[in-house]
A and B are shown apart, each in its own frame.
Chain A
Amino acid sequence: MLPHTGLETRDLACERGGKTLFEGLNLSVSPGQSLHLQGDNGSGKTSLLRLLCGLAVPLVGQVLWAGQPTTQAREDFLRDMLYLGHALALKEGLSALENLQFAAALSGQPWVPDAAVQALHQMGLRGREHLPLQILSQGQKRRVALARLGLSPARLWLLDEPFVALDSAACGVLQGLMQTHVARGGMVVFTSHQAVNLASGDNRSHRLGRA
C-alpha cells in the first residue's frame, strides 16, 4: 500500500466538560478531496478542527499527516496547513493589506504586495485595501481573512465556518476558491451548517454526533 499523502485520523476521541463528543473517529482526506464536517451545535466540529490543526491535544488517538503523526512531523505539517478559526486573527487598527502582510510573515511566506492586492480584489474588496479594519463590516473582515487562502501555498485548508457572515456573492467566490484548490490537488476540511455544493472534485461529508 502506498503511504498516505494526506490527512488521517486514527481512533480520535474528544472530551469536553466531562462529556465525550466523539470517539473512535477515523477520517481520511487525500489530495484532491474536500471534507465537509456537519453536526448540530456542540457536536464537536470546532473541537475536531482544533485537534486536526494541533491547537488541542486529543484525549485518545492520533492525527497523521503524510503518514506521520503531526506531533512528530510538526514543522512540515504547519508549513502545509492553513487554519482559519472563528476568530479571524485580524487587527482592527491595521489595514487589510497590513493584516495580510503580517499573516504572511508569521507563516513564513514571501510578501508579494501585488498578489495580496489581487487576492483582496478577488474577495470583492477593491478600494478598501488601505482602510483600517475597524471601519469594515463583519462580512468584509471575514473576506480579508479569506483572502489569505488565495495567497497561501498551504496544501491543507482547515476552515471553521468559513461561510458565516458572507453574502451570496462572497460565498460563491469562496466556493470557487475551494474548488480550484481541490482541483489542484489541495485538501479542504471545513465546517458549515449550510449546504455547500462544490461542483467538481471528490467531496465528502461527515456528520458528527448521533443522528
Chain B
Amino acid sequence: MSALWSLLRRDLLLALRRPSEVLTVVFFFVVVAALFPLAVGPERATLRMLAPGVLWVGALLASLLALNRLFEADHHDGTLEQMLLSGTPLTLLVVAKIAAHWVLCGLPLVLLAPLLGVLFDLSGDALGVLALSLLIGTPVLSCIGAIGAALTLGLRGGGVLLALLVLPLFVPVLVFGAGAVEALAAGLGSGAHLSILMALLLLSGLFSPWACAQALRIALE
C-alpha cells in the first residue's frame, strides 16, 4: 500500500515541480471553451444548446493531450522495470498511475467546467450536472486512455495510434456525458445518463489496470 501512496505522491510532486504539462491541458480546455462563444455569436439559445457538446469534446481532447506521456517517462528512465520487480503487483501500481493522471489532467477540467459553462449561459442546475458528469466521466477517460498509452508504449508515432485506439472507446463516455446535460435541459432528468456513466466507470476501473499491467509487461519484454 505504501508503494501506491508514494507513487501517487511522487507523480503529483513531479507535476508540481514541472507544471507545464498540466497547464497545457488546462489551457487547451479553457481556450476551446472560450473561443466557441466568440465564433458562434451571442445567441443565447444556440450557446445553451451547444454548451454540453463543446465542453465535453473540449475536456475529452484535453485529456487526450497528456495521455501518451502517462507511462513514457517511467519507461524511459527504467522506473517501470523497477515497478515490475517491486513486490507490489503491477496492477495496483497502475491504479496509482491512473489516479495521479486523473488528479492532474481530469480534476482541473471538472473544476473549471462550471466556470466555463457560464460563458454559454447554462443554468445553475445544468452547471451542476455538467460538473457531475465530468466528475464521473473523466476518470473513465483516464482509465481507457491508460490502456491505449500502455499498448503504444515505446512506439514511434505512438501518439497518433493512441488517439486512433482510444477515441472510439471514448465515444460512449462523450455521448452519455454530454447527454446528461442535454437531458436535463429537455426536462427528462439526468439520472439515467449519469447511471450509465457510473457503470462505465466501474467497468473501466476494474478492467483497465489489469489490461494496462498486461500491456506494460509485453512492452518491457
A91, closest chain B residue (CB): B14
Alpha-carbon distance A98/B14, docked complex (angstroms): 11
User: Is B31 part of the contact surface with A, judged by Cβ < 8 Å?
Assistant: no
Contacts of B73 in A (CB 8 A): 91
Known: A87-B76, A106-B86. A57 touches B6 (CB 8 A): no
Contact B76 A102 (CB under 8 A): no
Whole-angstrom distance from the CB of B117 to the nearest CB of chain A?
34
User: Is A86 part of the contact surface with B, judged by Cβ < 8 Å?
Assistant: yes
Alpha-carbon distance A205/B221, docked complex (angstroms): 26
Contact B7 A89 (CB under 8 A): no
Interface string of A54-94 (1 = CB under 8 A from B): 11110000000000000000010011010101111111111
B18, closest chain A residue (CB): A93
Contacts of A7 in B (CB 8 A): none
User: Is A13 part of the contact surface with B, judged by Cβ < 8 Å?
Assistant: no
Please list the residues of chain B having a beta carbon within 8 angstroms of any beta carbon in chain A. Answer: 2-3, 5-7, 10, 13-14, 17-18, 73, 76-79, 81-88, 220-221
Mind listing 25 A-B residue pairs with CB under 8 Å?
A53-B85, A55-B81, A55-B84, A78-B85, A81-B85, A83-B82, A85-B81, A86-B78, A90-B77, A91-B10, A92-B77, A93-B13, A93-B14, A93-B17, A93-B18, A94-B10, A94-B13, A98-B13, A101-B6, A102-B6, A102-B10, A103-B82, A105-B5, A106-B7, A108-B2
Contacts of B5 in A (CB 8 A): 105
Q: Is the interface of A mostly helix, strand, loop or mixed?
A: loop
Alpha-carbon distance A79/B86, docked complex (angstroms): 8
User: Is A20 part of the contact surface with B, judged by Cβ < 8 Å?
Assistant: no
Contact A89 B82 (CB under 8 A): yes
A132, closest chain B residue (CB): B17
Which of A57, A75, A102 has a CB less than 8 Å from the CB of B87?
A75
Known: A78-B86, A91-B14. A105 touches B2 (CB 8 A): yes
Contact A108 B87 (CB under 8 A): yes
User: Is A107 part of the contact surface with B, judged by Cβ < 8 Å?
Assistant: yes
B86, closest chain A residue (CB): A106
Known: A55-B85, A85-B81. A105 touches B221 (CB 8 A): no
Alpha-carbon distance A78/B3, docked complex (angstroms): 15
Known: A91-B10, A105-B6. A79 touches B87 (CB 8 A): yes
A74, closest chain B residue (CB): B87
Whole-angstrom distance from the CB of A165 to the nearest CB of chain B?
15
Report the 3 A-B pairs with minimum CB-CB distance, sorted nearest first: A87-B78, A105-B6, A89-B78
Contacts of A93 in B (CB 8 A): 13-14, 17-18
Contacts of A79 in B (CB 8 A): 87
B73, closest chain A residue (CB): A91
Contacts of B220 in A (CB 8 A): 55
Which of B2, B7, B77 has a CB less than 8 Å from the CB of A87?
B77
Alpha-carbon distance A137/B217, docked complex (angstroms): 31
Contact B221 A89 (CB under 8 A): no
Instruction: Among A57, A81, A92, A93, find the residue whose CB has the most chain B CB atoms closer than 10 A.
Output: A93
Contacts of B18 in A (CB 8 A): 93
Which of B3, B13, B17 has a CB less than 8 Å from the CB of A106?
B3
Contact A55 B221 (CB under 8 A): yes
B16, closest chain A residue (CB): A93
Contact B14 A108 (CB under 8 A): no
Contact A108 B10 (CB under 8 A): no
Contacts of A101 in B (CB 8 A): 6
**Given A90-B77, A106-B82, 6 other A-B residues pairs in contact with their CB atoms under 8 A:** A55-B84, A56-B221, A78-B87, A101-B6, A103-B82, A105-B6
